[in-house]
Structure 1
């Protein structure tokens, strides 16, 4: 960033001579320093897995979750600052509730994603606010089938078959490119997501982490939920075994 320190990063609404908004790029950097998020859209659902870094052994297991429910048919995964993400989650729940009250039906995933992306974008237009230091993955099943959208601090909203965020973004992306999304099932995707997260985890810099997995599929009757313990344990064991084989 050649213009850092020249005053172009003091306000979110000021462009640099390179045509960049440095405050937005700083927000993206906050996401890149977070734990890895991997999401896969399969032929019958969506799976989101997150490497939740544990900075202290005194933290309670399961606290500060990074996978949340928005509506019965929608869930989100968070990468970046949790405090910022909580505002987006609250906003998403409000939008989903309002849509259901007005139209009498669940909100389509694309509509919700675009509304949250617009809310993000508003925070890049005025000097009195700052961009949210987080990116979120919105997953769900609506009348158009399984859906997966990534929303970034800039306000961009893009649909994916598979995507990743956080520290191991590039390494995870390389692994995702090998997946045949049109053939894989959600059960298989859970194992694949767990394997990718364990393979990209940096044991030197970040020793402790908790794996979080959320899914929505025909098997869950179109309801977003955390992966049940038996399936979770099976996926985690598969990921650890794959990691040991790779190291050997």
Structure 2
């Protein structure tokens, strides 16, 4: 059984870093996991959100993490975001799009603040904001309407609003919103930052017997045989 993250993922830049947001629902024929993690660490300052098949996304991000880790240990230098994008894009392109992994990659390096979207066939784009996944059409409309030069709090609020729009309009997205803020000074990962569509404990409805109209009454006598 394939488990997919049929997803809403969002990334956007702000004045001092990058915000990545993702929902937490994982689906197959049914909802398999209501609180899965779709934000993957690639290096200390580079993270990725994934949409597609869970196994493919995990495999690709682990591959990129190992490649960048080898580079860091060999040259004693922090890898750049463009190095990560080139590694992932080359890997995906070599499989001609058969790996079901679409990624939003964000990070900070010595050259600046970077945000990319990477598609399953290997193409990539450097963007200021983006959304991918089955709920991306709703999410991107929120980003296009609200994106501007903003601070960290405004970026988090806009990213969460975009994910919420995807959750409320896409059956394959749902549950909670995870957020990670990547800055030059620190990384702040906020698990279950927002809960969307929380189930309310409704009171049990009780009807008096007199409110039910009896139209017909039959009495049966049962004889128990010994």
Residue pair 2:98, 2:120 contacting (<8 A) in 1 also: yes
Residue 36 in 1 paired to residue 8 in 2? yes
Quote the Cα distance in structure 2 between the aligned partners of 1:97 and 1:164.
27
* Residues 192/138 of structure 1: CA separation in 2 closer, same or farther (3 Å cut): same
> Paired residue for 1:92?
64
Residue 199 in 1 paired to residue 165 in 2? yes
Shift of 1:43: 1.5
* Residues 97/167 of structure 1: CA separation in 2 closer, same or farther (3 Å cut): same
Instruction: Report which of the two has the higher share of strand.
Output: 2
Counterparts in 2 of 1:183-222, with a 5 A limit?
A: 183-202=149-168, 205=171, 208-218=174-184, 221-222=185-186
Quote the Cα distance in structure 2 between the aligned partners of 1:57 and 1:34.
10
Shift of 1:177: 1.5
Residue pair 2:101, 2:119 contacting (<8 A) in 1 also: yes
Shift of 1:147: 0.8
Instruction: Report which of the two has the higher share of helix.
Output: 1
Residue pair 2:7, 2:173 contacting (<8 A) in 1 also: no
Which structure would you say has the larger Rg? Answer: 2
Unaligned runs of 5+ in 2: 198-226
- TM normalised by structure 1 equals 0.69
Residue pair 2:8, 2:173 contacting (<8 A) in 1 also: no
Counterpart of 1:106 in 2: which secondary structure?
Answer: coil
Shift of 1:180: 3.8
Shift of 1:102: 2.5
Residue pair 1:44, 1:186 contacting (<8 A) in 2 also: yes
Quote the Cα distance in structure 1 between the aligned partners of 2:178 and 2:20.
8
Quote the Cα distance in structure 1 between the aligned partners of 2:191 and 2:154.
14
Counterpart of 1:132 in 2: which secondary structure?
Answer: coil
Give the total of aligned pairs: 193
Q: Of 18, 22, 25, which residue of structure 2 is paired with 1:50?
A: 22
Counterpart of 1:215 in 2: which secondary structure?
Answer: strand
- TM normalised by structure 2 equals 0.75
**Structure 1 outlier segments of 4+, above 6 Å:** none
Quote the Cα distance in structure 2 between the aligned partners of 1:171 and 1:117.
26
